Chains A and B, each alone.
Chain A
């Protein structure tokens, strides 16, 4: 009987392993373990055996059942996986079809440049200050040491607003007016940057707009020096344009600073060798200087005690150079074909 059992085990295991489908395996299970199977017959005959044989054969029956069940389960898993794999082949998708992309927004290049610049200066301890875009003559001109007959004040250069009884109101020509408002409202030390819109009476062309953006910086404290200005702007230039950048200062005139300077940065594209972006290897980036003593006095500061530096950066200029935008008017046109190219830039 044990021999018959052994033979049946071998036969059943082979039967399971040869099953090609789950249905076939099902049939094999009925055949090998069903009510009318040899195995079942042997199991049923156990009762007729004497106790010793019954124990021995019974143990063997249990072992064979366990073996058969394991073989059955193993084969079933394989067949199930094969069946599923067949389904997955049918479930195949053309992965080159367009994905379901959520609508993607984009920051305006001027926002990108402004934020970067603000981040650099705030990381140095500067605070952002803001002021009105419609300014009065005193804050926009007089306090900045621009006397009443300065050429910058003619109707040609500035845009004025028509407000009854207020001929002194105009659209600010520089963010420098924020310097004055800041100094009027606090004592030194002052470390602020003022990003914002400014206005000039310029007919739009590829390099001019009547509305553009600046970032003004102001530092006033006891003992602020020209070296502080140079150091701050060098850190800024490296942060904005790369650690290899150098800066170069040349004398320049702005009524509200003395000494004044124009600051050039070695070209970020050609590293100063000269290319079609910069021409000479240097990009004139901003105007700066030591705050004019008259400006400090106008704000109630003592210029013998407090000294300071100020600088002004054109945001459009940085955006045009960096992104090689050929015409400044493109920045205010709202052309989504241009602007959506900034989806990858934050």
Chain B
């Protein structure tokens, strides 16, 4: 909400500039986001009298104008001709600045005539979005030679206020003025001229009948007759523009101006376009049609509230008027609506129609049910003043404003919550400043002295004691509150699942991977990639492509790899942890996953042969991760199928339970998603690993006697799995086994085709003695015998 400071000072004539008060207002509850000076770009523009208007010698479009600024005559070229000799206009002299031009004005040759400066339109000055002609000033308010900034008050400041949904009273100049008054002590004043009424009785002209008091507790109307052709004063237009509203006509501007000033939305009906003199407020019939004044045909439901004449609906209550009864240039007589509509009713209708107006914005948040008359009076008065016409006596009305709420506050409770002493006198002082009536005569009924506060209609937010306590805290200032750190009486900590995920992150960072965070949405293609059909659909996705919640982390990583590669970064090792979502019947199941992806070259060094990341890099990282997470009893199973490579991937098992997948992506899957080369990846269900992770460790004492190392190389068929040979060696070695490490894999001459050599370093040791040949020979023989038997292997060296 924009609040023009000079306007506010008409109600609370504080001597402070807006910029001086901005921080103080913010700290006491009026959040000033910015102090604007919308017209600071206007400099050296002077009110000047037009002396002569002549045709341009060379151009049909241009007019040569001679103006007098009180110091002398000056010649200017203009592109429009909506003025005549004697008119007062804003003349921007050479050296002047106007908001639409980046540079100060300089004399300029225009078709052979040197133009000294320019005559300005309202838009060029930033005071109204009107560019159809030069601004012709009202001779009664300005004099030639006067600086335009001073003449029109363009040195004004404008507060840009963030209005929170609980304080709709700040959606008006008066509402903010009340708060400024409470905070500065400057009293509120009312400098508006009194409303003059004609002899005609409004209630004789129009009748109001509310058939839905639950949606419209009160409705009043004024009748204004004999409206003419007057225009809105330029200062009022400038204020409307500064508040973000477009000046339209004197009648409409009057309703908007009054709304901005007092917070009460008004609607002007053309009295003669209403069928009959009566207004009926009723619920819509299901499917009832109405064309709103924006020209759109709307279909109503039976929950909507309509304003009707005796024949048909003429407005959607609190949202927008109908096209048939709209005021226009020919309007002479107006019925001016000032009503109170319930918040939820307007909110539902506006939301359903996706139709949000200044009026609906205010009604949804709550208007002052006691402010109808003041709003109607001000609107009628401005309308009559700006467009001519007379205001009929009194109101046409129905319904009544609801009684005021009474809420009480215990000073003792305020003291307890705010942790400083708030005596009753302070509480009363706060509500005096807020101009709220209070009464402490109820005394103490057992749980502390009470102050009963009568809540005015515009404070829709105050319902409970704690709301009053907030008023006390806010007005006295949050800086009154001390600081104290509460004793928690417990050790802080994190749950097991949280710690486990943190450890996974740390393990992967330690393994050299870069942590990423990605969006949690997934496309249909992502689900297809993992073969999942149980994704959770998003009902109202931002983009049709992101219509699901992710079922796995892997697709996001694949896209991240492709994005990096597209930027010329081919090599990366990245990982993510996070939630994935699957639908189990009607239940959304959330699981914590960890996944990583390795793409491009595995490191780069001038004396190392470069090689791409492959599946064994992934199993290596997996090994480090599961070791760090103390997940024992792990092994790799069969290839998991798509989206993985048929021969370079495996299911990760703990015991016999699958906990994840590891390996290279299927080349087609990678290629189709823009990934170059191999991409090795892994995804694990952290929630499945947590229960099987060892909580702690019981050490085995390191052997005191040195091990004996025997290197054994076996020739086996190419399709024999090294892991199985290793398992056989470990099995045969029994208790004496220390370590068994595969240190060489060799193919080629002199070996037969289709065979390979696997060389293992086998370390044997005993806990109680140094081993001799007598100890180790039988073990080595047993190993050789078993490997040769199980794999049709041949000992090559050993």
Contacts and interface: CB of A to CB of B under 8 A. Distances in A.
Contacts of B466: 258-259, 290, 292-293
A232 B486 contact: yes
A249 B466 CA distance: 18
Contacts of B486: 191, 219, 221, 224, 228, 231-232
Given A191-B490, A250-B26, A259-B470, A225 B572 contact: no
Interface in B293-313: none
B481 A230 contact: yes
A293 B468 CA distance: 13
Contacts, number: 255
B360 to A, nearest CB: 11
B495 A339 contact: no
Contacts of A127: 490, 492-495
Interface in B500-538: 502, 505, 508-521, 536-538
A260 interface: yes
A124 B485 contact: yes
B263 to A, nearest CB: 18
Nearest to B575: A105
Interface in A196-230: 197, 199, 201-204, 209-211, 219, 221, 223-228, 230
B723 interface: no
A111 B481 contact: no
Interface in A86-128: 97-98, 100, 102-108, 110-111, 115, 118, 121-128
Contact of B563 (A224, A228, A335): A335
A155 interface: yes
Contacts of A123: 492
B493 to A, nearest CB: 5
B537 A111 contact: no
B656 interface: no
Given A118-B494, A133-B590, A253-B167, A259 B473 contact: yes
Contacts of B536: 134, 161-163
A336 interface: yes
A334 B537 contact: no
B464 interface: yes
Interface stretch (B37-45, B95-103, B539-547, B688-696): B539-547
Contacts of A199: 520
A128 B583 CA distance: 27
Interface in A240-298: 248-253, 258-262, 290, 292-294
A154 B351 contact: yes
Contacts of B540: 155, 159-160, 201
Contacts of A230: 481-484
Contacts of B464: 258, 293-294
A337 B508 CA distance: 18
Given A105-B514, A107-B515, A108-B515, A128 B493 contact: yes
A261 B27 CA distance: 10
A160 B538 CA distance: 6
Nearest to B510: A105
B599 to A, nearest CB: 10
A105 B512 contact: yes
Interface residues of B, number: 93
Given A124-B488, A253-B167, A332-B519, A163 B588 contact: yes
B198 interface: no
- Chain A interface size range: 35 or more
B488 to A, nearest CB: 3
Interface string B674-699: 00000000000000000000000000
B473 to A, nearest CB: 5
B417 A290 contact: yes
B509 A227 contact: no
A230 B417 CA distance: 12
Given A261-B478, A334-B518, A223 B351 contact: no
Contacts of B343: 149
Interface string B578-593: 1101010011101000
A225 B578 CA distance: 36
A252 B31 CA distance: 8
Contact of A134 (B497, B588, B606): B588
A234 interface: yes
B488 A126 contact: yes
A151 B572 contact: no
Contacts of B488: 124-126, 189, 191, 219
A79 interface: no
A162 B510 CA distance: 40
B769 to A, nearest CB: 38
A57 interface: no
A164 interface: yes
A166 interface: yes
10 contacts: A128-B494, A128-B498, A159-B540, A163-B583, A199-B520, A226-B419, A248-B479, A258-B470, A259-B470, A334-B560
Interface of B: 26-29, 31, 164-167, 343-344, 347-348, 351, 364, 416-420, 461, 464, 466-467, 469-470, 473-474, 478-479, 481-495, 497-498, 502, 505, 508-521, 536-542, 549, 556-557, 559-560, 563-564, 567, 569, 572-574, 578-579, 581, 583, 586-588, 590, 603, 605-606
